């Protein structure tokens, strides 16, 4: 992979709520505007930088991988949270992060419907524990960008009455949507597009006090993988698909730049990666089982970079096992612009030169630990 000069977001001055990010020599310029200041200990990387708990259970899925066992998931969640925090009681683990006064957002991933989404069972168990802490259902928001995706995944029958289910827009056509905050945005011109701003969802900037990120283990045609970082970044801002076009992707820097914007960075306090099922090619979608695999794993942490660093190897190793090209492959001969059609048929075809280096970039922005030698992984067999 060609190395680029990584940049840092500079802290906002008291007089102007604006952060400027210098560009790499061949990358875009960013102007980040927000009136929000970072917390004393921002949620990313949080109190456990470089620490990941990985809980695996053969019982969490049926043998064919099609049915999830809710009781096995509950056991995995309890073990994972206790191992992450060191608490003896599960409830005390959740109290490390949440109080009854919090308004909590749960950032799900519904894009891989129907097979690889933030599962009903993990979301429901998350809500059960929040309520055990004292958070009322009316103070909990399951959120995603697109209403059509949420409608298809249909969380409502699986969660208590009163829990809010929120989408910022109908289907990637915001049209000056009032769900986005005009005072919190990142501005960048990638390909001469008309709209150069990506605005944060107003729910995040104006209502939520804490966020739980529940991504999946998925391949992605532009970023290499879509895990914690991309789920929280691209799922919390408008107008983000403009970063990749005709084989070129600016996701290397934009994913981390978005994730670092306040108050998103400070309020995202817990990462729970749903790896019960995963996607090894043609992600982030999974309309069929063609490229679905079954890690039967849930990962826990506060550091999105550390978890995603592990995810890079999980996806790449699965691709290698299947005889597919690496997510790090930068050969332009692999490119095909046939609207993803040939890519969906052939795992040795790319639609964009992928940028898995976005994980390292986010680490250099201070969002977490990227060096695999400095990541502590606690593995549990449930």
Residue 300 has pLDDT above 80, yes or no: yes
pLDDT band (50, 70, 90) for residue 68: very high
Residue 314 has pLDDT above 90, yes or no: yes
Residue 4 has pLDDT above 80, yes or no: no
Percent of the chain having pLDDT more than 90? 88
Q: How far apart are CA 85 and CA 97, in angstroms?
A: 10
For residue 341 the two structure tokens come to 């059609």
Percent of the chain having pLDDT more than 70? 91
Upper half-sphere CA count for residue 230 (Cβ side, 13 Å): 32
pLDDT digits (tens, 9 = 90+) for 69-90: 999 999 999 999 999 999 999 9
In order of 74, 140, 143, 193, 263, the CA distances from 177 in angstroms are 37, 22, 16, 18, 20
pLDDT band (50, 70, 90) for residue 21: very low
Element (H, E) at 221: none
Q: What is the mean pLDDT of residues 232-260?
A: 95
Angle (nearest 5°) at CA 281 between 120 and 171 = 55
Q: What is the pLDDT of residue 245?
A: 85
CB atoms within 10 A of CB 155: 22
For the chain, the straight-line distance linking the first and the last C-alpha, in angstroms and rounded, comes to: 37
Q: What is the mean pLDDT of residues 115-139?
A: 98
Q: What is the pLDDT of residue 307?
A: 98
Q: What is the mean pLDDT of residues 184-212?
A: 97
**Nearest of 128, 358, 76, 125 to residue 243 by alpha carbon:** 358
Any idea which residue has 């809500």 for tokens?
Answer: 127
Q: What is the mean pLDDT of residues 109-132?
A: 98
Q: How far apart are CA 229 and CA 222, in angstroms?
A: 13
Three-class SS state of 315:
helix
CB atoms within 10 A of CB 352: 23
Q: What is the mean pLDDT of residues 322-336?
A: 96
Q: What is the pLDDT of residue 10?
A: 29
| Full-model pTM | 0.93
For residue 48 the two structure tokens come to 């456990």
Residue 20 has pLDDT above 70, yes or no: no
Q: What is the pLDDT of residue 176?
A: 56
Q: What is the pLDDT of residue 294?
A: 98
What residue ranges do the domains of the chain occupy? 18-381
Three-class SS state of 106:
strand
Residue 55 has pLDDT above 70, yes or no: yes
Give phi and psi for 55, each to the nearest 5: -110, 125
Q: Which residues are paired to 198 by β-bridges? A: 186
Q: What is the mean pLDDT of residues 313-318?
A: 98
Upper half-sphere CA count for residue 273 (Cβ side, 13 Å): 34
pLDDT band (50, 70, 90) for residue 177: confident
């Amino acid at each position: 992979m060609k190395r680029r000069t990584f940049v840092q977001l500079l802290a906002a001055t008291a007089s102007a709520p604006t952060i400027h990010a210098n560009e790499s020599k061949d990358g875009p310029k960013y102007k980040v505007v927000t009136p929000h200041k970072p917390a004393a200990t921002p949620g990313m990387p949080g109190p456990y930088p470089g620490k990941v708990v990985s809980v695996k259970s053969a019982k969490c899925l049926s043998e064919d991988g099609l049915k999830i066992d809710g009781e096995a998931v509950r056991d995995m969640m309890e073990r994972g949270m206790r191992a992450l925090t060191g608490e003896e009681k599960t409830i005390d683990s959740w109290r490390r992060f949440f109080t009854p006064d919090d308004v909590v957002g749960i950032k799900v991933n519904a894009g891989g419907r129907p097979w690889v989404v933030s599962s009903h069972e993990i979301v429901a168990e998350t809500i059960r524990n929040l309520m055990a802490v004292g958070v009322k259902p009316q103070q909990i928001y399951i959120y995603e960008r697109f209403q059509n995706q949420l409608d298809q995944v249909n969380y409502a029958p699986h969660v208590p009455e009163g829990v809010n289910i929120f989408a910022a827009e109908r289907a990637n056509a915001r049209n000056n949507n009032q769900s986005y905050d005009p005072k919190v945005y990142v501005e960048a011109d990638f390909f001469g597009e008309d709209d150069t701003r990506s605005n944060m969802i107003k729910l995040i900037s104006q209502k939520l006090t804490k966020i739980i990120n529940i991504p999946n283990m998925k391949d992605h045609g532009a970023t290499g993988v879509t895990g914690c970082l991309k789920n929280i970044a691209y799922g919390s801002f408008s107008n983000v698909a403009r970063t990749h076009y005709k084989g070129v992707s600016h996701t290397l820097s934009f994913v981390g730049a978005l994730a670092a914007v306040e108050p998103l960075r400070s309020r995202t306090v817990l990462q729970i990666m749903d790896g019960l099922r995963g996607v090894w090619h043609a992600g982030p979608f999974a309309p069929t089982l063609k490229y679905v695999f079954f890690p039967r794993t849930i990962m826990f942490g506060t550091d999105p970079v550390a978890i995603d660093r592990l995810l890079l190897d999980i996806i790449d190793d699965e691709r290698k096992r299947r005889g597919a090209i690496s997510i790090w492959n930068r050969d332009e001969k692999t490119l095909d612009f046939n609207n993803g059609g040939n890519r969906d048929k052939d795992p040795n075809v790319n639609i964009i030169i992928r940028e898995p280096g976005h994980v390292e970039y986010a680490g250099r922005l201070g969002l977490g630990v990227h060096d695999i030698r400095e990541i502590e992984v606690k593995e549990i067999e449930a």
